[in-house]
Structure 1
Amino acid sequence: MEKFRLIPLLTAAVMGCTALLAGCGKGSDSSSSKAEEGAKTSDDGSINKDLTSTELARLLGNGTNLGNTMEAYGHKSYSADTDPESFETFWGQPVTTEEMIKGMKASGFDSLRVPVAWTNAMEYEKGDYTINEAYLDRVEEVINYALDNDMYVIINDHWDGSWWGMFGSSKQSDVDKAFEMYKSMWTQIANRYKKYSDRLIFEGANEELGDRLNDTDVCKNSGSLSKAECYEMANKINQTFVDTVRATGGNNEQRFLLIAGYNTDITMTCSNKFQMPTDTAKDKLLLSVHYYTPWDYCGTKGRSDWGTKTDYEEQNRLFKNMTKYSEQGYGIIIGEYAVLTNGGDLKKGTDKFIDNLLDNCDAYGFAPFLWDCSDFFSRSELKMRDETVAKIFDERRRDNQSSMTVEEERAAAVKKLDETLAAAPEKLTDDTAPQADENTAVAWIMYQSADFSVCYSVGDEYDPVSKSDGVIAENAVIDGEGTYTVSLDMSSNNANGIAFSALGIANGEKLYPNYIATIDEIKINGEAVETLAEGYTTSDDQLCTRVNLVNQWVSTPPEDARIAGGDLSKASPIILDYAGKINTLEITFTYAPAA
């Protein structure tokens, strides 16, 4: 299941594609005059042509994000005389001050990523892509706060009201306008900040380069791209970003550029369908991915703890996978990572999660950027909220590690990773759920509540520890053909509705190839419920067998789906519709070879 970021709900209705694409697309050459005057900053404007992106990644040290601030979206309220600072408070954060940035630097952060929503300050519905000068000025102020405090800075185009869906339109004229707008945007940004040194990095996108190119929030004609076409379009957009910035000349000919991976997801970015752009500059491209795995722990209230051997192995494996690109000479940026708190207390295991992630970054030479919306560093109190986490970042500041050579730093990190993994517990609780080794198949219910607050082992990897506190599972060891029952007791969790659920059978494809799981009965709160359609048997990873109960991210059964009798005409990835409170969920199914 795709993992989505929780973003603030917008009350403003977004205009449709027809209105958006009207006009002639002005603005491609504006905002260069200020750059020619010279920036009012201590930055010296120097460019080190010999510095490579992998070397830069180490210099970036520990980074943090100015989250929910310059990218906070308030476009509906925009007019030519809108105070740019008014946008910064739209998502609950205070107006940024230099004292805040000084506090971040003092807390151990060497670099700052500044997400930006540039269409906040455009009248792009009229086809005018000119970015308001005052908005460019305000972004520059924030850039200078960080540069003047000896930090590196990344600026990007973030979610930005989801205009990216224009690239997924079924109308070529919409797509053409999207590229016109994108080129205009980056021409203005690149010209405006052209004279800054290579301590300022441009990032072409965020998480939208991928499946979200099909978003219909702004462009109602969107949603036409297949997965393969989304990859192709993401690659084309990244190439356009590089070509556009390089064409502005000056320092931008050698400036470091950060390329967004597909969905900024490690596994999807490591697909051969994703291609890094070509570049006229040598060794100046970096690659960005984000890390919120497992999402039920990092992004929702579903899971409350982290730190099993399986947890460490998963994180270590995914970070190692990114060496596919670092070994090719690309510096790797973990543009966002966090265990999100939504303003609450830190979850158990947050310090372990962060510490091991930073060890992985040291081991492979990656640059980590914490996603922070005042959950970790309080912008009102100008200090870290949690002493344990504060100590981790203070010890990891670049100055404290600069005495070591690259080889020494990486060797120490690898040693610590090995020791941490060896000491990690198999379980965090006294859970007695059966384990699924390579010779054992186990059936269970994947579950995610409608509000993402209660979960149990969501995903193709069976992990009975990945659950909300209080959830009690009865899972079944599969020993061949037969009828089995699995259940979840969530009576102490106040679980409501279903965002996602499936019957999973760990190792089913390996140990029982071509078997079919047929749902006999589903009970909710002890009562049998009717199904909307027939479930089908499938596998996403060719190891875990699955029957979807509610999967909103799939529209039709895949080509390799299996069903008793072979008729998939009445099969669906959504066979349940239940919105009430769920105390218990029980599934009885028959498992047998296909006829």
Structure 2
Amino acid sequence: MKKIIFGFLAIITSLILVGCVSNKTEDRIKKMNAIEVSRDMGNGTNLGNTMEAYGRVEHGIDADTEMYETAWGMPVTTKEMIKGMKEAGFDTIRIPVAWTNMMDYENDNYVINEKLLKRVSEIVNYALDADMYVIVNEHWSGGWWGMFGQPEQSTREKAMTMYTEMWKQISEHFKDYSYKLILESANEELGSRLNDEINEVKGTLTEDETYQVTNKINQKFVDTVRSTGGKNEDRFLLIAGYNTDIEKTIDDRFIMPTDKVEGKQLVSVHYYTPWTYAGDGESKTEWGTKEEYQEMNELFEKMTKFTKKGYGVVFGEFAAIPLKNGTLKGNTLEYIKNVFDNSDLYDFVPLLWDRSDFFDRKELKMKDEGIANLYSSRNVENESKLTIETIKDNARKALDKAVLDAPSGATGFEDKVMAYIMYNSKDYNVGYSNSKGNFYNPNDKTAGVVATDVEVSGAGEYTVSLDFSGVSGGFANSMTFMALGIYNGETNFPNYVIAIKEIKVNSEVVKVTAESYTVSDDKITTRVNIYNTWVTNIPDDARYVKPGLSKLARAVLIDGEKYAELRNVEITFEYIKK
């Protein structure tokens, strides 16, 4: 009798540890491939600003997990909260985690505090018990990822050791969990952010090298998880794309890892396009022109590069983040719906980035009725009543109708050659004509920005400027990107070169610290980078004012960090026929 009782208790304890998922469900998921599981994951959400909140600076590495969990203003996660998300129509939840919150890695101790593993497990179990798919990753985690790009080889090796040891522990801990748990290799840090500054030292990897290291990290992730056995031998794994950026991830330099099992990998990208609308801040509060619909549709379609090869695609984060006062931006519902329709058409998984912006974690319900109805009507239970063909047909019709019905946002400058300054502030709250790459659109700007753009008629000297004194606060916060663009320059004046004559910031002439180079990404707009820290190697097709300047050329010409309060910028340049 005692043996029977103890055996029963062991079974109950096991269910508590790994969540309640029936054997029938496990067998069903085990037989799926990546495309099939994507359909089963439906639409989802993120437990944003919670387990990835970074609090080790304030609390050390051995505080109660609640201290880290609530460090960025979110409440402690409860079972009722996760259940409410499921009832709202979310079928998948992504749990970003800052594992280094409770790891003494600076002293070469890579052991994750058991308290953190236990707390993440509790939340995972809440989701599994609510019949949700769950994604667990290693998030930004204080920015330690910059170790991979440091000049010293020993630091780079330490980064890989740390990453490997981290995933050995996480994988071992979760190896017997349901197949509904999906492990994700990283967040947005695989790519250019491998060169993030560590102790005031920037990384030195070229762009090609960041791709190589990204591929190496993702391969290490797959090999490490698979080696721990249990359900990890054939669990679905989510591979972080390069910067989780669509254009960067579809680049042939990004290579999916090899795997000993087929059809069990998905790739993750994020979608916040245009950033001036979708991201934080109040720079662009409306969306929905014909061109904006088409832009989203074109970008989503590009990710079919992976589904055609049998990989699932997860949009691990997307949103139109509300204004700072909590008000939804214009056409947020339409923006989300178009994401849904693209995802239905291509078998993608869209996961809303939410920090209690959309689902109120205290009231346990959606804040907006329209968005609530959309999620509840498009959950897996309701969509499973339709055939796959019907779902895709409905999606295609909805996408076509949305474009047809949308107003044109054409700028009226399609046939003109226009010189202008592309700009984004350091906090991305202020921008000008930069949300759609090199496409010139003077209406794409933060309220209050005054631009002086000029029409280019050929060789000669021109001056363009931006004035930020009219934006909220009276200035822009430094810069994360700035370039001089000549829209239709390549089309009308091929092989011309731009010579920067003078740059003024806050009405004062600033020192130019490097030679500029002229380039075109799309063979339409001619460009000179003024402040672009993402470019670490000059393109082979770059053009120069004088021969022999290539060794002196840079994508950063001024010290942008000097200008915490950026009130105006003026650039005078000469357009030269070569």
- Give the TM-score taking structure 2 as reference length: 0.88
1:289 matched to 2:273? The reply is no
User: Which residues of 2 match residues 159-558 of structure 1 at below 5 A?
Assistant: 159-217=140-198, 223-301=203-281, 302-341=283-322, 342=324, 344-427=326-409, 434-437=412-415, 440-458=416-434, 459-488=437-466, 490-493=468-471, 494-496=474-476, 498-499=478-479, 500-520=481-501, 529-532=509-512, 535-554=516-535
Deviation, 1:564, is 3.4
The 1:36/1:463 distance shift into structure 2, 3 A limit, reads farther
CA separation of 1:563/1:531 partners in 2, compared to 1, >3 Å: closer, same or farther? farther
2:267–2:313: 8 Å Cα contact kept in structure 1? yes
Residue 593 (structure 1) aligns with: 577
Asked if 1:579 corresponds to 2:550, the answer is no
Alignment check: 8 A CA contact 1:167 1:222 kept:
no
Kindly state the Cα deviation for residue 345 of structure 1 after the two structures are TM-superposed. Answer: 1.7
Query: Do the aligned partners of 1:207 and 1:260 also contact (CA within 8 Å) in 2?
Result: yes
Moved more, 244-253 or 552-561: 552-561
Decide whether the 8 Å contact of 2:207 with 2:536 is kept in 1. no
SS at match of 1:166: helix
Q: Does 1:124 align with 2:105?
A: yes
Per-residue deviation, 1:77: 5.3
Counterpart AA for 1:477: E
Q: 1:35 to 1:541 in 2, by over 3 A?
A: farther
Q: Secondary structure at the match of 1:538?
A: coil
Q: Which residue of 1 aligns with 2:38?
A: 57
Q: Pick the aligned partner of 1:147 from 109, 122, 128.
A: 128
1:111 corresponds to which residue?
A: 92
> Please, which moves more after superposition, 85-94 or 177-186?
177-186
CA contact (8 A) 1:39 1:195 kept: no
Q: CA deviation at 1:358?
A: 1.2
Q: Determine helix, strand or coil for the equivalent of 1:540.
A: coil
- Of Structure 1 and Structure 2, which has the larger fraction of its residues in helix? 2
In the other structure, the counterpart of 1:22 is: none
Residue 516 of structure 1 and its aligned partner are, at CA, apart by: 2.0
Q: Residues of 1 paired with 2:338 and 2:154: CA distance?
A: 47
- Structure 1 position 454, deviation (Å): 2.3
Q: What is the CA-CA distance between 1:151 and the residue it aligns to?
A: 0.9
Q: Is there any run of 5+ residues in structure 1 with no aligned partner, and where?
A: 1-33
For 1:520-568, what per-residue CA distance to the aligned partner results, in whole angstroms no more than 9, with x for missing partners?
A: 555667x573553565433333331113333344468655443434463
Alignment deviations for residues 341-363 of structure 1 (CA, whole Å, 9 cap, x no partner):
35632222322221111111111
Question: Is contact 2:504-2:510 (8 Å) kept?
Answer: no
Paired residues of 2:61 and 2:101 also in contact (CA < 8 A): no
SS of the equivalent of 1:242 reads: helix
CA distance in structure 1 between the partners assigned to 2:439 and 2:304 by the alignment: 23
Distance 1:225 1:565, change over 3 A: closer
Q: Tell me which residue corresponds to 2:5.
A: none
Question: Helix, strand or coil: the match of 1:537?
Answer: coil
1:276–1:343: structure 2 CA closer, same or farther, 3 Å change rule? farther
Moved more, 74-83 or 135-144: 74-83
Q: Distance in 1 between matches of 2:315 and 2:34?
A: 14
What per-residue deviation string (whole Å, max 9, x for no partner) do you get for residues 253-284 of structure 1? Answer: 11111111111111111011111111111211
Amino acid at match of 1:442: M
- Encode CA deviations 1:188-231: one digit per residue, 9 max, x unaligned: 2222222222111111111111112222336x776132211111
Q: Which residue of 1 aligns with 2:6?
A: none
Structure 1 CA distance, aligned partners of 2:477 and 2:83? 45
Paired with 1:132 and 1:316, the residues of 2 have a C-alpha distance of 44
1:19 alignment counterpart: none
Structure 2 unaligned residues grouped into runs of 5+: 1-9
The 1:259–1:521 alpha-carbon spacing in structure 2 relative to 1, beyond 3 Å, is: closer
Amino acid at match of 2:563: A
Q: Distance in 2 between matches of 1:103 and 1:422?
A: 36
C-alpha separation in 2, matches of 1:196 and 1:397 = 24
- 1:443 CA drift (Å): 1.9
Q: Post-superposition shift, 1:380? A: 1.6
How far apart are the structure 2 equivalents of 1:589 and 1:177? 46
Return closer, same or farther for 1:498/1:121 CA change in 2, 3 Å cut-off: closer
**1:24-35 paired onto structure 2 within 5 Å:** none
In 2 relative to 1, CA 405–90 (structure 1 residues): closer, same or farther, beyond 3 Å? same
CA separation of 1:354 and 1:133: change in aligned 2, threshold 3 A: same
Which whole-Å CA distance do the structure 1 matches of 2:12 and 2:114 have between them?
A: 14
The question of whether the paired residues in 2 share the 8 Å contact of 1:449 and 1:495 is answered with no
Provide closer, same or farther for how the CA distance between residues 448 and 61 of structure 1 changes in structure 2, counting only shifts above 3 A.
same
Alpha-carbon separation, structure 1, partners of 2:476 and 2:461: 28
- What SS does structure 2 have at the residue aligned with 1:240? helix
After TM superposition, give the deviation of residue 575 of structure 1 in Å: 4.2
Whole-Å separation in 2 of the counterparts to 1:79 and 1:590: 55
The AA in structure 1 aligned to 2:339 is L
Is the Cα contact below 8 Å between 2:207 and 2:537 reproduced in 1? no
Select between 70-79 and 109-118 the one with higher mean Cα deviation: 70-79
User: RMSD across aligned C-alpha pairs, in angstroms?
Assistant: 2.8
SS at match of 2:376: helix
Q: 1:127 to 1:587 in 2, by over 3 A?
A: closer
Aligned to 1:495, the other structure's residue is in SS state coil
* Residues 433-483 of structure 1, C-alpha deviations (whole Å, 9 max, x = no match): 54224xx42222223345533221024222223211243444333333344
Cα distance in 1 for partners of 2:37, 2:552 equals 55
Change (3 A) 1:80 1:39: farther
Task: Look up the equivalent residue of 1:516 and give its one-letter code.
Answer: V
Note the C-alpha offset of 1:486: 3.8
Taking a change above 3 Å as real, the CA distance of residues 191 and 450 of structure 1, as seen in their structure-2 partners, is closer
Amino acid at match of 2:139: H
Deviates more, 1:539-548 or 1:355-364: 539-548
Q: Residue 460 of structure 1 aligns to which amino acid in structure 2?
A: N
2: CA distance, partners of 1:549 / 1:248:
48
- Give the number of equivalent residue pairs: 553
CA contact (8 A) 1:35 1:191 kept: no
Using the alignment, how far apart are the partners of 1:97 and 1:489 within structure 2? 48
CA distance in 2, matches of 1:203, 1:363: 24
